Structure 1
């Protein structure tokens, strides 16, 4: 049964050498029931709204299975929120999703897959150290990107909630079919 491992929001804005000067990639789990609205997790922020957030990128989901792959590759623990994700999920192959696929999380919240994440240099700087060099290409080539989601029905969710795929448009492109390598 696919489930929600954690709901994450920004812990703090961090200085960043990119054009905005700060990043909101440092996310961590929120305890208890969390409100999800049209623009995502209540209390979350995006430092660069040009590339993150908005109705079609209200939430970013990443799977526990993909995080475990990267933990093995990088040799360190990567807790929920480390990828900048709002939703850490388990038991759902998020990269096999189709554009327009809908998931129900818990009793009420419904989200729709809109597009894959495009990794950026802010993400590379977040990774840091020797792993940062070539990170965007490495992350892209692994094809473990995770989807952005639109909120179709708002409500509250919490860690442990079941995730059900309620609609899968078989004729729609797959998430990874829509990925455009940034380099």
Structure 2
């Protein structure tokens, strides 16, 4: 299990973004050297956990609970076959393109050590938006991505440090529950009846997803 690519984005003006200023940092590109990873601060004020990675819309992106976004190269390969086009590292706006690692199959609260220093903790999956759809230029992309339920993983920074392409990834903690990123994603998108199962996760779950779960359980029981 390793990091194939570390990808950073620069703010760029595009016609498809949902942002009023027309800027997005979704077009992320691989970088060669080491990149500093640290907790960026609360959502709304803190951006990316990777130094040099720019984010336009802090209301929905960045912050401590989604400081890093990872996508498996294997999932990009699956989409390449379906879409009939190449998808380079960073094509989904991911900071980390991995190899040999179950990203969407990771457990919420699972911890990864990357290289010698960095430890990250899985918090949630990526919910697609119209900016993502415009970036890829695929019709009905939001629906297709949601239906596939392989969203990649958002992670928070537990131990900061430097990472680079080629770093090994080691799973150093697996929590005692069965809620994967993919299951939690389905629960908050297409299969809301799964939401009560997210309560087994505890504080590791992204707080916004935990809030949705608690609201559902209060209204419908669980």
TM-score range, shorter chain: over 0.9
Higher normalized helix content (fraction of residues): 2
Alignment match, 1:181: 189
Q: Quote how far apart the aligned CAs of 1:19 are.
A: 3.2
Which fold has the larger relative contact order, with Cα–Cα distance below 8 Å and residues 6 or more apart in sequence?
1
* Unaligned runs of at least 5 residues, structure 1: none
- The answer to which of 109-118 and 168-177 deviates more is 168-177
**Two-structure CA RMSD over aligned residues (Å):** 1.3
Distance change in 2, residues 1:157/1:168 (3 Å): same
Q: How many residues are paired up? A: 178
Alignment match, 1:15: 14
Distance 1:71 1:63 in 2: 13
Matched, 1:82 2:91: yes
Distance 2:57 2:69 in 1: 15
Higher normalized strand content (fraction of residues): 1
Q: Quote how far apart the aligned CAs of 1:56 are.
A: 0.4
Q: Quote how far apart the aligned CAs of 1:146 are.
A: 0.3
Q: Quote how far apart the aligned CAs of 1:172 are.
A: 5.3
4+ residue runs over 6 A deviation: none
Normalising by structure 2, what TM-score? 0.77
- Matching of residues 153-168 of structure 1 within 5 Å: 153-168=159-174
Distance 1:167 1:112 in 2: 9
Distance 2:183 2:150 in 1: 13
